[in-house]
């Protein structure tokens, strides 16, 4: 049943008609729990509140299905606007982005031009930028572009997904770049030919890549809501005397806020992934696919209206 529900919401996440409707009708039906608003001004207010609680942030202007140059340039402009807002408001925040929003599927020239524009602005404001990993078909291209950008900029990192068989090799391969990596389980529907189908195997691989990356001496963001993975990381760093400034935990805005604040009280860096913007629908559907409890929360919200 849970797998059926997951597949259903992942299917809905790719529906362009529903995406358009969601844009038109705004952040209703519970999405505002997971999305910080549709404008940068609203997002800044949310970040200030999170910072006040001791939480660090990474902000992401949501956008999917970008298929022309003008839209890609506009998406890059939104990222630049967010960077300036971080600098001007002295926020404890980084920036996350998806390269498909910057023109990855249109041309190499376009995506590199937009990425360099963003990273130049980010460098000027002291903002770190993480390139989100998307589905498997774009994985190699994302890594290739990251390697190129890492030769030119210090303020860029990327994401690797524990559910892919290839990830252990990617950790080894990227070690030469001393990368700052966010490690995640992975949220896209992938074939068993490229990804572990069983949660148990994904969890084991997640632990393996966390250990590899930390013991390689690289900065590691462990992005999880899973207490078993959090506890594993705490024990690992204790065992190997890894300082707290070599890693951080990351969670999504609106999911387990009490746990987020608890980790801050325990002395860990805890970063919240805060998405905003009008194109929130696909992101929201993937959150519902990940955790059935989120669906119950949203249904309650709808029924109250």
Instruction: Provide the annotated active-site residues.
Output: 132, 182
Number of H helices and number of E strands within the chain? 12, 8
Alpha carbons 142 and 158: distance in angstroms, whole number: 8
> Is 225 annotated in some ligand binding site?
yes
> Is 224 annotated in some ligand binding site?
yes
Asked if 240 and 233 count as a contact pair (C-beta separation under 8 A), the reply is no
> Is 98 annotated in some ligand binding site?
yes
User: Residue 166 contacts by C-beta under 8 Å, 6 or more apart in sequence?
Assistant: 139, 194
Among the listed residues 218, 230, 217, the one whose alpha carbon sits nearest the alpha carbon of residue 269 = 230
> Is 200 annotated in some ligand binding site?
no
> Is 151 annotated in some ligand binding site?
no
Alpha carbons 301 and 73: distance in angstroms, whole number: 36
Q: What backbone torsions phi and psi does residue 85 show, to the nearest 5 degrees?
A: -65, -40
> Is 158 annotated in some ligand binding site?
no
> Is 199 annotated in some ligand binding site?
yes
> Is 287 annotated in some ligand binding site?
yes
> Is 52 annotated in some ligand binding site?
no
User: Which two structure tokens, joined as six digits, stand for 283?
Assistant: 């992101």
Asked if 287 and 252 count as a contact pair (C-beta separation under 8 A), the reply is yes
Look at the alpha carbons of 175, 178, 184, 188 in this order and tell me if their dihedral is positive or negative: negative
Q: Which residues are annotated as a binding site?
A: 98, 133, 161, 185-187, 199, 224-225, 286-287
Q: Which residues are annotated as a binding site for substrate?
A: 98, 286-287
């Amino acid at each position: 049943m849970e797998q059926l529900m997951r597949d259903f919401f992942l299917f809905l996440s790719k529906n362009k008609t529903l995406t358009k409707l969601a844009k038109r009708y705004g952040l209703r039906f519970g999405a505002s729990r997971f999305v910080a608003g549709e404008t940068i001004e609203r997002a800044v207010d949310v970040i200030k509140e999170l910072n006040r609680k001791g939480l660090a942030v990474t902000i992401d202007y949501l956008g999917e299905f970008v298929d022309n140059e003008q839209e890609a340039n506009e998406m890059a402009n939104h990222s630049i606007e967010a960077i300036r807002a971080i600098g001007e408001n002295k926020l404890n925040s980084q920036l996350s982005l998806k390269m498909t929003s910057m023109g990855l599927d249109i041309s190499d020239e376009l995506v590199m031009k937009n990425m360099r524009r963003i990273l130049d602005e980010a460098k000027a404001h002291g903002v770190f930028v993480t390139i989100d990993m998307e589905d498997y078909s774009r994985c190699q291209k994302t890594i290739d572009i990251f390697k190129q950008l890492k030769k030119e900029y210090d303020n860029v990192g990327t994401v690797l997904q524990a559910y892919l068989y290839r990830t252990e090799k990617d950790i080894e391969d990227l070690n030469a770049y001393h990368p700052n990596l966010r490690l995640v389980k992975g949220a896209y529907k992938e074939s068993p030919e490229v990804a572990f189908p069983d949660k148990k195997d994904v969890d084991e691989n997640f632990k393996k890549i966390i250990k590899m990356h930390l013991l390689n001496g690289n900065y590691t963001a462990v992005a999880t809501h899973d207490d078993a993975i959090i506890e594993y990381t705490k024990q690992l760093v204790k065992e190997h005397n890894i300082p707290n400034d070599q890693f951080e935990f990351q969670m999504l805005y609106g999911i387990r806020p009490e746990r987020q604040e608890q980790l801050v009280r325990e002395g860990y860096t805890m970063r919240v992934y805060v998405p905003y913007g009008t194109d929130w629908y696909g992101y929201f559907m993937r959150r519902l696919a990940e955790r059935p409890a989120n669906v119950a929360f949203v249904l309650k919200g709808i029924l109250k209206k």
